[in-house]
Amino acid sequence: MKTMTCNQLGGACDKIFHANTFEEIAEMSKKHGSEKLQMGDKKHLKAMNKMMELMKSPEAMTKWFENKNKEFNSLPED
């Protein structure tokens, strides 16, 4: 298992996620993000808007995803 925080995944807090694959951890942070949004959390709303901005460019989004994937893979196993 590897560990990444909400912040590292383009979020807005220090919540820690554990997963075996990047896809898995990205899914967890996405779920957490939408839960926070439903609570009306402004910090996560801001982070989400940033991501939406990034998603307008498929190239930038792919690059972001690749970079995070690399970051995840370079992490030590727990």
Q: Name the site residues for Zn ion (rule: CB under 5 A).
A: 6, 11, 13, 15
Minimum Å gap between C-beta 12 and Zn ion is 5
On whether the CB atoms of residues 36 and 67 are closer than 8 A, the answer is: no
> Cα–Cα distance between 46 and 26 in angstroms, integer?
18
| Closer CB to Zn ion, 6 or 25, in the complex | 6
> Cα–Cα distance between 57 and 20 in angstroms, integer?
28
Give the residue closest to Zn ion by C-beta: 6
| Closer CB to Zn ion, 15 or 30, in the complex | 15
